[in-house]
Amino acid sequence: MKIGKVPENVLERSVFKQLHTKRSEVLLGAGVGEDCAAVKLEEDEIFVLSTDPITGTAKDIGKLAIQITVNDLASSGAEPIGVLLTILLPPEAKESHLKKIMNQMEEACAMAKVQIMGGHTEVTPVVNQPVVTVCGVGKVKEGKLVLSSGARPGMDIVVTKWVGIEGTSIIAKEKEEELKTRFSASFIDKAKELDVYLSVLSEAAVAVNSGVSAMHDITEGGIFGALWEMAEASGIGLDIDVKKIPIRQETIEICEFYGINPYRLISSGSMLMATEDGNKMVRELEKVGINAVVIGKATEGKDRMIRKDEEEHSFLERPKTDELYQVLT
């Protein structure tokens, strides 16, 4: 496509015609010449906003872009309403590629009941692969906002599903041929299909209704990064049993193949929670089919301990660059 703003006829057939999910709160949505969106809220509701880019992978970029932003909103206890998009494409991109991205986004939005409210689409030589940035808009009732900084000493630390599933799925898709030198096709397919678990909307809803005090979607930096960020935001220490952290065999084996740390691998789809009664939270999540595990406790002070057994332990370090980039760059 030609460099510059995507033409109106391309927008009409490859962008706007793909959008079908609508929300009653959205008074002004996506359209030619519309530079803003407008949303109506009730008097006792609060806006919640989040923004994220997708730059680490070009495969399923539309799906991931929506899912990650929706997860961020859910981790604050908010109900996602809509998204605003910025899509930057390299000059060699074809219109069919743009249409595919929009189809992925609309499919993800339909599943989350989220409306694409507007955005900007441009072809530019400053990128060498598609880059998508999403601004998410959500709402939450006053008094129901959940923060990452809400953890307090004595609280249980809970993790849902399995850590590393997003990174495992991305690596399996991007490095399929390389992985075939070690693993069977069925093993790789199972790893790729872990992306079906990327939504945290269900566990966030259960957690909010079960008295969760803090939530954090486990994204870049993996579980170790998320633990550090929650502890830093809350001003607490941690005592975490690494053997209790839930992880899939596919993740372990693929990380061993590339020599990377699975606990520092991007992990959307897994939620970190702090709550007064972790076992009760686990039971409530299990009622809706979501596995969860109490992996440790919040403590007084600033020591953030990762235990391997009764005698061997280490201390959590500041988040580092995500392990995914060691594989993809």
Q: In Å, how far are 112, 113, 164, 205 from 79, measured between CA atoms?
A: 10, 10, 25, 9
- Domain residue ranges in the chain: 4-141, 148-328
Q: How far apart are the first and last CA of the chain?
A: 26
- Residue where the block lists tokens 């600033």: 302
Class of domain 148-328: alpha beta
Q: Provide block-wise average pLDDT over 10 residues at a time, the chain (329 residues).
A: 86 90 91 83 93 81 93 95 96 95 96 95 94 95 92 98 97 96 97 96 95 94 96 96 97 98 96 97 97 97 88 84 92
The first and second tokens of residue 91, run together, are 């000059």
Say what the pLDDT of residue 279 is: 97
What pLDDT sits at residue 35?
Answer: 77
Q: Are 208 and 146 in contact (CB under 8 A)?
A: yes
pLDDT at 223: 97
Domain 4-141 CATH assignment equals 3.40.50.720: no
pTM of the model: 0.89
